[in-house]
A and B are shown apart, each in its own frame.
Chain A
Amino acid sequence: MTQQAPSPPTDPLGSPMWQAHARTLFENNPVRFEPALKLSMPQIAEDQHRFPVALDARGLGEVKRMVIFADLNPIPLAADYHPLGAAPYLAIRIKLDQRTPVRGAVQLVDGSWLVNGAWVDAAGGGCSAPPVSRVRGDWAQHLGEIRGGAWPGEHGAARLRFTIRHPMDTGFVANIPTYNLETLNISCAGKLLGTIEIWAAMAEDPAFTLMPVAVPRDRLDITARDTNGRDYTAAVTVPAS
């Protein structure tokens, strides 16, 4: 006899979408709300097109997956990160289409999920207004430009930050179909350190902050692909100090 899947725990935020998202994302794995999972956001959504979120699971055990999502966004999931050879830290910028819970969740090696989140008040339209570069008309001129750097970090992990010029079209703006970065890999000397699946809920010109395991003089390779099959590559060397 098959055991019935356990229901996700009651949502402290009282979100109407919690049960549906929890079942989809976490399937039948145990889920618990964990205040020690550090989800950091500004106290105000000054710009609903570009709301910064940082998820930090360092010190909570080995993490195999990290997700950042907003319950009431039409595209709830923004990023799904596997930190294969990286400290469990992910900072990105997302769109907010209305007032919504914003959450971070991490999956431990035993399969269980830890979740934290908060309601964020936001003006409407973060997902349904055209990207600034579309309005300006110069998105194609700068498509795929990657800027960034690496910095020495703590406990054997470096700090890697980069931004990729991309319109990240949601498909909700008239006559502009969905067009977004969808996968991104970080590697060092051929060894995969992390993979991220990306949705158009990430802000235009997405920015990433990661902590891959690397020492000074290591070269970190970034490769990404968008929904048109276009590839993007970049590399940065970890400095000595």
Chain B
Amino acid sequence: MIVSRRGVLGGIAATIPAAAIGAALAYPFAPVAIADGVWMVAGSDEPIQRGNGGAIANITIIATPAGTVLVDSGPSLRYGEALKTVAEQLTGRKVIRVYITHLHPDHAMGLGAFPREIVAALPGTIADIEHNGQGFSDAMYRLLDDWMRGTDLALPGLPIRTDHEAFGGRNLRLMALSGHSSADLAILDEQTGTLIGGDLLFHRRAPATPTADLARWRESLAVLDRLAHKGAVPGHGPFDSSGREAIAQTRDWIGWLDSALNDAVRSGLDMVEAGEMPIPAPLAVMAAGRYELQRSVSHFYPALEGKLLPRIDQ
């Protein structure tokens, strides 16, 4: 089982925001309009930590004539409930569909705020959450404690077995891809040409790889690159109005990561040294680069050693 263990190094106890002392925890919501009837709620470009309550992933709100559609649900029940209120006030219509792009807790653990039968995900994502969800839940409670209050592990009730869904004439194309995880959902809002890439897309923020298959990720990015779309909502980082920059940055980072880790093993670096490798200048625009590189070293290095270092026992 793969369990995301995020945390901070420190001789310091994790800091508690002033607002958390004597007041109920509350997530700030500032949906920004990115296209006609589409808003993005930006996550913070940080690791999951108490200061941000785990709200690090971008969330998309789409107004359709039939009701409100959400893409991803945030890290906790508290977040999911607040998101529902904010989205329904914004659009004036009830939430009728919530898509979960992939298994990771910063996207999926708020889904308990919604009726199961309106929460849709790829069958592979539902299986992933079933398998890894408890470990993720444990890790999230350890890191975020009261932010997580009341959050139980919940599964999406609606497996996606179609390549599109229409809501009152607004057609959403559903693309079953993979690479960031074993099942990654990307969505194209055909009315505005807005691509919602989930964590297949990282924009000015280094990609996270705890469940990644880099070769499949590159194939999925090639599919998105061939798509005729306008702007793109990445899983993390600012909205990409060009629709291309996030694709290129994610592709460049994972391409560099793949070859740099192979080179590091071949040239005899240990894991600490590999985590301290210089990050090439063009990739320095990616926030949290050192942090994600060191996480990636942990994810990939032992297997690469097993593949690249020859047997020397006698």
**How far apart are B22's CB and chain A's nearest CB, in angstroms?**
26
Given A121-B10, A123-B7, A146 contacting B272 (CB threshold 8 A)? no
Residues on B with C-beta less than 8 A from A163 are: 302, 305-306, 309
In the assembled complex, the Cα of A209 lies from the Cα of B270 at a distance in Å of 7
Asked whether B3 is an interface residue with its Cβ less than 8 Å from the other chain, the reply is yes
Residue of A at shortest CB range from B308? A147
Q: Are A42 and B272 closer than 8 Å at their CB atoms?
A: yes
Residues on A with C-beta less than 8 A from B314 are: 233-235
Residues on A with C-beta less than 8 A from B8 are: 43-44, 121
Number of B residues whose C-beta is below 8 Å from A? 39
In the assembled complex, the Cα of A217 lies from the Cα of B74 at a distance in Å of 57
Q: Are A122 and B7 closer than 8 Å at their CB atoms?
A: yes
B residues 1-56 touching A (CB-CB < 8 Å): 3, 5-12, 14, 47
Residues on B with C-beta less than 8 A from A232 are: 313
**How far apart are A6's CB and chain B's nearest CB, in angstroms?**
25
Asked whether A148 is an interface residue with its Cβ less than 8 Å from the other chain, the reply is yes
From B9, B142, B305, A120 is in contact (CB under 8 Å) with: B9
**How far apart are B1's CB and chain A's nearest CB, in angstroms?**
9
**How far apart are B142's CB and chain A's nearest CB, in angstroms?**
6
Residues on B with C-beta less than 8 A from A122 are: 5, 7
Given A50-B298, A123-B139, A149-B309, A43 contacting B11 (CB threshold 8 A)? no
Asked whether B312 is an interface residue with its Cβ less than 8 Å from the other chain, the reply is yes
Asked whether B297 is an interface residue with its Cβ less than 8 Å from the other chain, the reply is yes
**How far apart are B184's CB and chain A's nearest CB, in angstroms?**
21
B residues 124-142 touching A (CB-CB < 8 Å): 138-139, 142
What mask results when residues 125 to 163 of chain A are scored 1 for a CB within 8 Å of chain B, else 0?
Answer: 000000000000000000011111111000000010111
Asked whether A34 is an interface residue with its Cβ less than 8 Å from the other chain, the reply is no
Q: Are B298 and A43 closer than 8 Å at their CB atoms?
A: no
In the assembled complex, the Cα of A41 lies from the Cα of B138 at a distance in Å of 24
In the assembled complex, the Cα of A43 lies from the Cα of B7 at a distance in Å of 9
Residue of B at shortest CB range from A47? B298
Residues on B with C-beta less than 8 A from A150 are: 268
In the assembled complex, the Cα of A50 lies from the Cα of B271 at a distance in Å of 10
- Could you list some 27 contacts between A and B, CB below 8 A? A13-B11, A14-B11, A42-B275, A43-B294, A45-B9, A52-B271, A52-B272, A52-B298, A54-B273, A91-B272, A118-B9, A121-B7, A121-B8, A122-B7, A147-B311, A148-B312, A149-B309, A150-B268, A151-B267, A161-B268, A161-B309, A162-B309, A205-B302, A207-B305, A209-B270, A222-B312, A236-B312
Given contacts A44-B8, A151-B268, A162-B312, 6 further A-B contacts (CB under 8 A): A44-B47, A44-B291, A47-B298, A52-B297, A53-B272, A207-B271
Residues on B close to A: CB < 8 A? 3, 5-12, 14, 47, 138-139, 142, 210, 267-268, 270-273, 275-276, 290-291, 294-295, 297-299, 302, 305-306, 309-314
